[in-house]
Amino acid sequence: MATGRDEGLDVKIGLEVHVQLTALKTKLFCGCSANYRGMPPNTLTCPICLGHPGTLPVLNRKAVEHAMMVALALNSSISRQMIFFRKNYFYVDLPKNFQISQYDKAGGVPLSTGGWVEFAVNGEKKKVRIRRIQLEEDPARLTYPGTITTSSYTLVDFNRAGVALLEIVTEPDMETPEEAYFFLQKLRSIVEHLGVSSENMQGSMRCDANISIKGGARVEIKNISSFRDVRRALQYEIIRQKQLLRRGGAAKQETRHWDEDRQITVSLRVKETESDYRYFPEPDLVPVKISEEWISEVASKMPELPDDRRERFTSDYGIPEYDATVLTSNKKIADFFEECCKLYPNPKKVANWIMSDLLRNINETGIDVAEMSITAEQFIDLLKMIDEELISGKIAKRVLREAIRTGRSPRKVVEDEGLLKISDEKMIAKIVDEVFHEFEGAVADAKRDRKAVNFLVGQVMRKTRGRADPEITNKVILSKLEEK
């Protein structure tokens, strides 16, 4: 299989992923609810998250513990003492004109440093190193009346301001957009298995990407809202930077904005250097000491991670490692598989149907796995309908696609569309008679040529929209040919 690598181009991709700690009830530094989705704007704020003078932030202990769980899961080494820094800049989404964040320079100590994530890309193992993980607050949410390009002003909702956010920074270890995509999938599966962040929630994982190719400077791409777009934005950048190279130029260091509508990256033309942020230790927060005991206590509460689950899938269900890898790359799918296996005795068959049909249809329809409406009971009901010969395997594929697209249960699709298999010999015989009448030439050929028999079977299938039992159809046709 092609690696997708641009040999000799020396593509280096690094990611900066922001993961919202959505399992927390409250924000990072105040008791306002962090559950802002679907809430009226500016109803979940207080003097602390609005940055009013004279207020003091107080750190959410559970946020630190959830962050520690992620650090442990990514093999990152947790700092014995971490401190918060102020990152100073003016923007409408930042009520205090600074963000409480962490920093790894100027004496700063983030939550954790180092680590790695291992994942599979087209069956090949890939390891990406983690540079650091830090805890920070989310800015406010901005909306633009009309569209982002035509609106003349910004609407600000501070409900999101102060929500706990993890920033996970990788080393530039990825060489293809594909690898970046699968890294993100794995990371998402890990945080979901940990139960600290849910993909069910829009915007709970956001990502900036850095990319450089041979001879060019590092380009940062911001504003990428989905994993699919991370892949697209990187593909676009590789082409753009390759063209610069071909013309004898090279990419210059800059920040570019991913324009989702036009599917291109656009230069932001802002010159901001790191020193402009004037990082300094946050005087309103005291250092956090993390003892060995605290780490062990958190470690002892860690749930099963995707890698362990993959191993368990191969041993408990006897499915191949490849299948187990695909199934555990998404927590909801892994849960779905296990639920199905409780209802059905053949795990390999369940795995095949999930991988080849369920996932493919979900991808094709663009439905998010999180929004998938089919239940394990309904899915197994479909497999049982095949076993009981109520429908053929071919029809079942069609039923599943329809069920996923419309949200109806497979059983309902079969009933609504009248897709039950026709096994009644008399009924099939009637259809065969019709076909024989229509295709007299083929009937004559069929006595000598086996291929023409297949043609006749095909015509019966066409008339019954694939519902006729192929074996019975075959049998009826052959016996009718004998009579001729």
Partner 1 sequence: MITKEVVEHVAWLARIKLSEEEKEKFARQLSKILEYFNMISNVDTSNVEPTFHVVELHNVFRDDEEKESLPQEVVLKSARESEDGFVKAPRIL
User: Of 55 and 77, which has the nearer Cβ to partner 1?
Assistant: 55
User: Of 222 and 349, which has the nearer Cβ to partner 1?
Assistant: 222
CA 50/CA 28 separation, integer angstroms: 13
Q: What is the DSSP letter of 161?
A: T
CA 138/CA 27 separation, integer angstroms: 9
Q: Supply the minimum distance, in Å, between the C-beta of residue 28 and partner 1.
A: 10
CA 431/CA 106 separation, integer angstroms: 83
Residue 349 burial (CB < 10 Å; 0-12/13-18/19+)?
middle
User: Of 46 and 305, which has the nearer Cβ to partner 1?
Assistant: 46
Distance between first and last Cα of the chain: 53
Q: Supply the minimum distance, in Å, between the C-beta of residue 67 and partner 1.
A: 13
**Which tokens go with 37?**
């989705």
User: Of 25 and 252, which has the nearer Cβ to partner 1?
Assistant: 25
**Which tokens go with 400?**
């599943």
Q: Supply the minimum distance, in Å, between the C-beta of residue 168 and partner 1.
A: 21
18: how many CB neighbours lie within 10 A of its CB?
A: 16
Residue in 99, 112, 85 with CA at minimum distance from that of residue 140: 99
Q: Supply the minimum distance, in Å, between the C-beta of residue 283 and partner 1.
A: 7
Q: Are 111 and 316 in contact (CB under 8 A)?
A: no
Q: Supply the minimum distance, in Å, between the C-beta of residue 68 and partner 1.
A: 13
114: how many CB neighbours lie within 10 A of its CB?
A: 15
Task: Quickly list H helices, 213-330.
Answer: 227-246, 292-300, 306-317, 321-327
User: Of 122 and 154, which has the nearer Cβ to partner 1?
Assistant: 154
β-pairing, 254-259 vs 219-224, is: parallel
User: Of 38 and 90, which has the nearer Cβ to partner 1?
Assistant: 90
Binding site for partner 1 (CB under 8 A): 24-26, 30-33, 40-47, 50, 58-64, 81, 83, 88-92, 107, 143-145, 151-158, 257, 268, 276, 278, 281, 283, 285-289
Strand, coil or helix: 223? strand
CA 66/CA 73 separation, integer angstroms: 11
Residue in 136, 139, 161, 166 with CA at minimum distance from that of residue 16: 166
Q: Supply the minimum distance, in Å, between the C-beta of residue 24 and partner 1.
A: 6
Q: Supply the minimum distance, in Å, between the C-beta of residue 300 and partner 1.
A: 19
CA 331/CA 369 separation, integer angstroms: 10
User: Of 285 and 442, which has the nearer Cβ to partner 1?
Assistant: 285
Residue in 101, 118, 100, 232 with CA at minimum distance from that of residue 178: 232
User: Of 247 and 269, which has the nearer Cβ to partner 1?
Assistant: 269
User: Of 289 and 465, which has the nearer Cβ to partner 1?
Assistant: 289
User: Of 105 and 125, which has the nearer Cβ to partner 1?
Assistant: 105
Per-residue exposure over 270-296, b if at least 16 CB sit within 10 Å of its own CB, e if not: eeeeeeebebebbeebeebebeeeebe
CA 65/CA 295 separation, integer angstroms: 9
Query: Residue 20 forms beta bridges with which residues?
Result: 165
Q: Supply the minimum distance, in Å, between the C-beta of residue 230 and partner 1.
A: 21
User: Of 47 and 393, which has the nearer Cβ to partner 1?
Assistant: 47
CA 316/CA 257 separation, integer angstroms: 46
Q: Supply the minimum distance, in Å, between the C-beta of residue 47 and partner 1.
A: 8
Q: Supply the minimum distance, in Å, between the C-beta of residue 33 and partner 1.
A: 5
User: Of 7 and 261, which has the nearer Cβ to partner 1?
Assistant: 261
**Which tokens go with 106?**
């100027």
Q: Supply the minimum distance, in Å, between the C-beta of residue 244 and partner 1.
A: 24
**Which tokens go with 246?**
């071909």
Q: Supply the minimum distance, in Å, between the C-beta of residue 193 and partner 1.
A: 20
Q: Compute CA distances 144 → 141, 152, 154, 265, whole Å.
A: 10, 8, 5, 20
